[in-house]
């Protein structure tokens, strides 16, 4: 149990450190580490010592399936959002390389509210 606690601490510390580094890729790596820490928390919430199958022929010491389902769901969600963040990173990287927009110019390209109005067939 204490090994799990140490692992959570280590992952969370490393994740926080990466988050605070300030660049986009490190931010993403930081989030990946942090969510790993959370997954370990979720698993240990169900008790790590019970390892017998949850449903088939359970008996004493059977594992709690609920936290495992939580962790599985969380992994899927985090995976999707990580991919999205990486996509944003690639996109902004490309825009920055091509000159980019002036961050102080609030109204740039803002004068096209009907943007793409007629591009689809009706």
Partner 1 sequence: MIGSLVVVPVVAPLATAAVLLAFARRRALRRVAGLVVSGVVLVAAVCLLILVRDGSVLVVRIGGWAPVVAIGFAADTFTALMLCAAALVVLVCLASAAATGQDGHPFFVPLALVLAAGANGALLTVDLFNLFVLIEVMLVPSYVLLALRGEARDMRASRVYVATNLLASTLLLTGVGLLYGVSGTVQLAELVGAGRESSPAALAGGLVLVALALKSAVVPVHAWLPRSYSDAPPVVVALFSGLLTKVGLYALIRVFAVVYGGAADYLWIIGVVALVSMVVGVLGAVGEHSMRRILSFHMVSQIGYVLLGLALFTEASLTAAIFYLVQYILVKAALFLSVAAVHADRGTDRLASLGGLAATRPILAMSFAGAALSLAGLPPFSGFLAKFLLIRAAVDSGAWLAVAVALGVSLLTLTSMLKIWGSVFWGPPGPAEPVALGEGARTWATASALTLAVVTLLLGLAAQQLLVLSGEAATGLTDPVEHPRVER
Is the dihedral angle over the CA atoms 68, 74, 78, 80 positive or is it negative? Answer: positive
Contact yes or no for 89/28 (Cβ under 8 A): yes
Question: Which residue from 66, 72, 83, 86 is in contact with partner 1, where contact means CB under 8 A?
Answer: 66
- 49-69 in b/e form (b: 16+ CB < 10 A) is eeeeeeeeeeeeeebeeebee
* 67-106: contacts with partner 1 (CB under 8 A): 67, 70, 73-74, 77, 80-81, 84-85, 88, 91-92, 95-96, 100-101, 103, 106
Report in angstroms how near the CB of residue 102 gets to partner 1 at its nearest: 9
Instruction: Supply the minimum distance, in Å, between the C-beta of residue 38 and partner 1.
Output: 5
Instruction: Give the span between the Cα atoms of 40 and 99, in whole angstroms.
Output: 43
Positions that interact with partner 1 (CB under 8 A): 19, 24, 27, 31, 34-35, 37-38, 41-42, 44-46, 66-67, 70, 73-74, 77, 80-81, 84-85, 88, 91-92, 95-96, 100-101, 103, 106-117, 119-122
């Amino acid at each position: 149990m204490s090994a799990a606690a140490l692992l959570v601490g280590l992952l969370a510390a490393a994740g926080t450190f990466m988050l605070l580094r300030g660049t986009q890729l490190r931010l993403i790596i930081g989030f990946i580490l942090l969510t790993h820490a959370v997954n370990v928390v979720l698993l240990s919430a169900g008790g790590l010592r019970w390892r017998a199958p949850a449903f088939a022929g359970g008996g004493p010491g059977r594992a709690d399936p609920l936290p495992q389902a939580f962790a599985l769901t969380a992994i899927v969600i985090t995976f999707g959002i990580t991919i999205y963040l990486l996509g944003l990173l690639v996109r902004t990287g490309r825009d920055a390389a091509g000159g980019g927009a002036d961050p102080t110019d609030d109204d740039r390209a803002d004068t096209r509210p009907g943007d793409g109005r007629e591009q689809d067939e009706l």
